[in-house]
Amino acid sequence: MKKFILLNVVMISILSFSGSAQEINLDTLLNRYYKAGGLAKLKDWKSFAMYGKSTNQGMEFPVTIFMKRPEKMRVEVEIQGNKMLQVVNGEVGWTVMPWSGTTDPQDMTADEIRAMKDQTDFEGPLYNWKEKGNKVELIGKEDMEGSQVYKVKVTRANGNIETDFIDAENYISLKVSSVVKFQGNDVESDTYPGNYKDVDGVMMPFSIENKSKGVSISHVMIDRYEVNKEMDDNLFVKPVKK
């Protein structure tokens, strides 16, 4: 009888542990993530602009980012009176790097366009992921710097891979680890969104740090967002070379 009771206790413990490990399924997690972030309201955003500062290697630069549906993004960084541009508009992407010796726009590579296009998805790859042709897997739950997080792996339709670390309490993203293809090589990076605030019913980060192999590459501090801002499509049109 004692052995039977002991066996029951052990089985109950095992089942309880298993239930805890599988306390949530992918659909439930994503629904909580959508609700916490206000993604249903984000669908009403046709455009938005972000204004802030980027800190790189101890230097601070003004940065402005314009986003417009569909698949339009323009990044402006002012460096010593010169403006660096990165722009993508669908399958077209171009840059202006004044320190390269010319202010003429230069075409992005296919890999660069693919990586930047990933960022033009307003709601992100987890929202309507099936319709977007993405593959999503709930990997598990773990501790990340004192916070319990769910790890969700996303394989985008274009082959790029990212792992989202979603806070198990507040259901917002604390980290995104990305693997993108550049010239046949896998390039890894980590993005840490933080300091979330409500912007027209959507939780938006006001701090975004980017790291590579554990080293901080840039830290963007956002001062404000402007939602459904009128934007001329010419912002995203490649200018003719001078």
Could you tell me which residues are beta bridge partners of residue 57?
A: none
Amino acid at 53: K
Amino acid at 222: I
The 10s digit of each residue's pLDDT in 162-210 is 999 999 999 999 999 998 877 778 889 999 999 999 999 999 999 999 9
Contact criterion met (CB below 8 Å) for 68 and 61: no
Whole-prediction pTM value? Answer: 0.86
- CATH code, residues 47-235: 2.50.20.10
Helix spans in the chain (H): 2-21, 26-37, 39-42, 110-118
pLDDT values of the chain reduced to their tens digit, one per residue, 242 residues:
444 344 444 444 433 333 344 478 999 999 999 999 999 999 999 999 999 999 988 889 999 999 999 999 999 999 888 899 999 999 999 999 988 888 899 999 999 999 999 999 999 999 999 999 999 999 999 999 999 999 999 999 999 999 999 999 999 999 999 988 777 788 899 999 999 999 999 999 999 999 998 899 999 999 999 999 899 999 999 988 76
Alpha carbon distances (Å) from 137 to 5, 91, 152: 38, 28, 6
- The greatest distance separating any two alpha carbons of the chain, rounded to the nearest whole angstrom, comes to 91
Q: Which two tokens stand for residue 207?
A: 């701090």
Nearest to 75 by CA among 87, 92, 57, 83: 87
